[in-house]
Amino acid sequence: MNQLVELTSVDQWNDLYQSGQAVLLLKHSTTCPISAEAHKQFEAFRESYEGDNLTFGIVKVIEERPVSNQIAEDVQIKHESPQCFYINNQRVSWSASHWSITRKAIEAAL
């Protein structure tokens, strides 16, 4: 299975973002039922992904507010939760929020 990186510091986010590597990132609220469903969809995609060129990341927006805020600033997309991004070379080529985060939507975007 593909490893999941939990972002718990702004420095950790900066390292990942500035690396230029391809990242599928989920901003997840641990108290929201919509976010719980988005997390299930994200995990279903991650578990089925057969490539090796994608880093999977997650930030818990309540617990790690500074990281979440820095992500919103860096990618220039207003914060929502849940929210999912495909980032490659520091550019967001796909994003979705709330009920739009589905395994099928992620598959289609990538």
> What is the C-alpha to C-alpha distance for residues 13 and 56, in angstroms, rounded to an integer?
12
- pLDDT at position 53, please? 87
Please tell me the predicted confidence (pLDDT) of residue 73: 95
Q: Is the pTM of this model over 0.85?
A: yes
- At residue 36, the pLDDT reads 96
Q: What is the pLDDT of residues 35-49, one digit of tens each?
A: 999 999 999 999 999
Domain that holds residue 30: 4-109
Each residue's pLDDT tens digit, 46-94: 999 998 889 999 999 999 999 999 999 999 988 888 999 999 999 999 9
Number of structural domains found in the chain: 1
pLDDT at residue 1 greater than cutoff 60: no
CATH number at residue 101: 3.40.30.10
Contact 69, 59 (CB under 8 A): no
pLDDT at position 66 is: 96
- Owner of token pair 């927006």: 61
Report angle CA 55, 30, 50 to the nearest 5 degrees: 25
Q: What are the pLDDT digits (tens) for 14-27?
A: 999 999 899 999 99
For the sheet with 91-97, list strands across it.
4-6, 55-60, 23-28, 83-88, 91-97
Place of tokens 């617990």: 63
Which letter, b or e, does each residue of 5-22 get, where b requires 16 or more Cβ atoms within 10 Å of its Cβ?
A: eebeebebbeebbeeeee
